[in-house]
Amino acid sequence: MWFACCFFAVMCLFSEVALAYTGVTIVMSSKTEANLAFVEQFKTELAGNENNTLNLKVIELPARKRLVVAENSELVIALGAKALEAASKLSHTTPVLAVHTPSLAYEQILEKSLRDASNMSMIMQNQPYARQINFIQLVLPAAKNIGSLVNGNSQTYAEQLKTQADKKGLNVQLTHLNDPSMLIPELKTLLEANDALLAIPDTAVYKPDTAQSILMTSYQFKKPVLCYSLSYAKAGALAALYSSSRHLAKQAAEIAQQSQNAESALPLPQAPKYFSVYVNRQVARLLNIEVNKDVAIFQELLAADNLQNE
């Protein structure tokens, strides 16, 4: 009787631990360009690893239907918050990795799901604090004051970034945008007091329908914008430090393969590992700002990352 009770207790314990998986299912909230690029690169990463044993399936989130995968034997990679919410309802022993989801949404879904953090993780949208600060100082070495508009989606990251920037002699001023109608008035006040604007991933503030207004207002004040996406930089920001869908897919493939047989299926949420730098030279000329070559900035950021990780 005693043995039977102990055996039952052990089995209950292991039932809460994510099992080794033999396949990966990528669930897309929708077939966006970013999601499709992620899938293509993920396939390439698996194909390029001669030791890969993972099977791969790709599905679009079914409308008004429960998500169905081979639970307990697959890692589910959820692209977008809707896909993550559906995946969070799967068996708690089915590991789930979130990509293209804001940190605040991830935390809310994780809490609601009652899942253990060991079998639900994410690749964050925000760059590591040190890399972001180094980027600002490499692109604008004379800048001492940087402004940023933030909302609930980015508040925690921005506040931590400000704390870390203070240690490097860089002042980051945060303006909380609670009323979308106050975007331009708040932006003007922020630009008057700072050397540049830092745009960070926050869909409540920096989104397609506000980009033109933000960029045009910054031009009026002759203040550069540093941003988080290639498209934003090409639209008129001075420079971007960004991790594309292909960067994130490479990182996700590494997590999938390294965690396949691990006792605890997934690592803690990670910042983007791979990244690129883009400087809009036309904007630099218009604002009369000299900026080092893209490759030189990238190499310095990479060297700083490597030094920090030693």
Cβ atoms of 119 and 93 closer than 8 Å: yes
Q: What is the pLDDT along the chain (310 residues), one digit of tens a residue?
A: 443 444 334 334 444 444 578 899 999 999 999 999 999 999 999 999 998 999 999 999 887 678 888 877 899 999 999 999 999 999 888 999 999 999 989 999 999 999 888 889 999 999 999 999 999 999 999 999 999 999 877 888 999 999 999 999 999 999 999 899 999 999 999 999 999 999 999 888 998 899 999 999 999 999 999 999 999 999 999 999 999 999 999 999 999 999 887 766 789 999 999 999 999 999 999 999 999 999 999 999 999 999 887 6
Treating both helix axes as pointing N-terminal to C-terminal, what angle do 155-167 and 103-113 enclose, rounded to 10 degrees?
130
Locate 175 and state its tokens: 């303006």
Say what the pLDDT of residue 241 is: 98
Say what the pLDDT of residue 264 is: 60
> Domain 129-242+280-309 class?
alpha beta
Q: Do domains 2-125+247-258 and 129-242+280-309 have the same CATH topology?
A: yes
Alpha carbons 144 and 67: distance in angstroms, whole number: 49
Say what the pLDDT of residue 152 is: 78
CATH code for residues 2-125+247-258: 3.40.50
> Domain ranges in the chain?
2-125+247-258, 129-242+280-309
Say what the pLDDT of residue 301 is: 97
Cβ atoms of 23 and 54 closer than 8 Å: yes
Q: Which residues contact 124 (CB under 8 A, 6 or more apart)?
A: 103, 269, 270, 271, 272
Say what the pLDDT of residue 14 is: 40
Say what the pLDDT of residue 263 is: 65
Say what the pLDDT of residue 310 is: 65
Cβ atoms of 52 and 257 closer than 8 Å: yes
